[in-house]
């Protein structure tokens, strides 16, 4: 396939993703049982993870999205802009905030700041991936699919320049493909 040359390795297989997402869902179910749950997912990187996660959540829930986009230079994230605001009322509700990857923590810190302004009862954070090595902001995720080394990864929703989101696994992008721009 065409992307083969652009990836240096396969980091997380489809089978591993499937198994881990099911485990996360079970954990989340236990923690939110009997609560009025609002799942708030960040666009666009969470598409695949979110779809798989919520189909395994047998809890009543409502779903909404916040759009964030960071203009980036290479793989470094820069200015963050909000492209879609939350529409559901979350005051007094339990919120599960879902993101694809916790890297420096800047994105989630900004989003948390906004969400807290809507006065939810509590906010729990769920991320598919985290890179512990790169954290600059003090953000902790309550549910983490996989801790990964400091590599630029794509697939299963994660992109580079909006590409590769459709790969069904998580792979490592060769540095020459994101260091050039």
Q: Which active-site residues does the annotation give?
A: 103
By CB under 5 A, how many residues form the interface with Mg ion? 1
* Residues within window 40-69 making contact with ligand IMP, judged by CB under 6 A: 45
**Does 97 help bind ligand IMP (rule: CB under 6 A)?**
no
145 binds Mg ion (CB under 5 A): no
| d(C-alpha 168, C-alpha 125), whole Å | 23
Among ligand IMP, Mg ion, none, the one that 66 touches (CB under a kind-dependent 5 to 8 A) is none
Residue 45 interacts with Mg ion (CB under 5 A): yes or no: yes
Q: What does 101 bind: ligand IMP, Mg ion, none (CB cut-off 5 to 8 Å by kind)?
A: ligand IMP
Are the beta carbons of 65 and 41 closer than 8 angstroms?
yes
| Pattern 152-181, ligand IMP, x by CB under 6 A | xxx---x-----------------------
Point out which span in 24-32, 42-50, 51-59, 115-123 binds Mg ion (CB under 5 A): 42-50
Q: Which residues bind ligand IMP (CB under 6 A)?
A: 45, 77, 99-107, 152-154, 158
Q: Which residues bind Mg ion (CB under 5 A)?
A: 45
């Amino acid at each position: 396939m065409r992307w083969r040359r652009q990836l240096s390795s396969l980091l997380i297989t489809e089978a591993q993703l499937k198994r881990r997402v099911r485990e996360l869902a079970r954990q989340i179910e236990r923690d939110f049982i009997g609560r009025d749950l609002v799942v708030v997912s960040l666009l666009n990187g969470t598409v695949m993870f979110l779809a798989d996660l919520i189909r395994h959540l047998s809890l009543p829930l409502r779903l909404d999205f916040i759009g964030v986009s960071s203009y980036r230079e290479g793989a470094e994230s820069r200015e963050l802009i909000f492209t879609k605001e939350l529409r559901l009322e979350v005051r007094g509700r339990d919120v599960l905030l879902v993101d694809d990857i916790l890297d420096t923590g800047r994105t989630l810190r900004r989003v948390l700041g906004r969400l807290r302004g809507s006065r939810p009862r509590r906010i729990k954070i769920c991320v598919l991936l985290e890179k512990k090595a790169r954290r600059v902001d003090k953000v902790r995720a309550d549910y983490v699919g996989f801790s990964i080394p400091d590599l630029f990864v794509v697939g299963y929703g994660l992109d580079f320049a909006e590409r590769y989101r459709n790969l069904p696994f998580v792979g490592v992008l060769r540095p020459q493909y994101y260091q050039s721009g």
